[in-house]
Amino acid sequence: MGQFDKCLLLLVRSDNDIPRACKEAGEFLAFRDARFPTIHEEHYEEFVGIWVDPLVVDSPPELLGRTSAYGHRAFRSRGSFGSSGVWLLCWLDAAHGSTSTDLGALRESLVLALVEQQTLHHFPTTPQFAPIFNSADGWPHICFQTERLRVLFADVIGEPLTWNRTTGVLGRVSEFERAEAGSDAADLN
């Protein structure tokens, strides 16, 4: 398992904009990685989720999370790329300088930081965070990680999505993938 101290977060204006944001951000990432392959190798980053919030897309926070005893925040923005207030792809660093081998813990810390940031301006009525997993992750892993997030952040977590790092495609976990992953898990038991 890799070490994670960098991650990608897609900020989206509304639920209705998620399909467009996924398509355009995926195309951008595929283009970037095809055109500049050494960026991908030198700066390993994991796509961890989509956060739906119209206010954050227009003015994303540079720092997220509680301040530690050392004066650091949990996450620091190191850049972003977007499309006219509809979506914004953000590269985040874990500002504490250490790496984690648990991508689930990274997602949990990020959602907590986003929820804390958001309470300053409004209270949502629909799920705001869609966790994103590697397209090679199996359905049991995706389901377990998503449910773990829902236990911690009951009304905030939406349906999981997958990301194919090679093609840049961001998409919903299809029923076929779920059924296939379920039969693979049954074969192992």
- Counted residue by residue, the chain has a size of 189
Please state the pTM of the whole predicted model: 0.78
Give 149-186 pLDDT, tens digit per residue.
Answer: 999 998 899 999 998 877 778 877 764 455 555 545 44
pLDDT at 116 over 70: yes
- Span 114-141, average pLDDT: 79
Is residue 63 exposed (0-12), middle (13-18) or buried (19+ Cβ within 10 Å)?
Answer: middle
pLDDT band at 68 (very low <50, low <70, confident <90, very high): very low
Q: Give the span between the Cα atoms of 127 and 125, in whole angstroms.
A: 7
The least confident of 32-46, 77-91, 158-172 is: 32-46
**Short-list 52, 43, 66, 54, CA closest to 22:** 52
Q: Give the span between the Cα atoms of 34 and 45, in whole angstroms.
A: 15
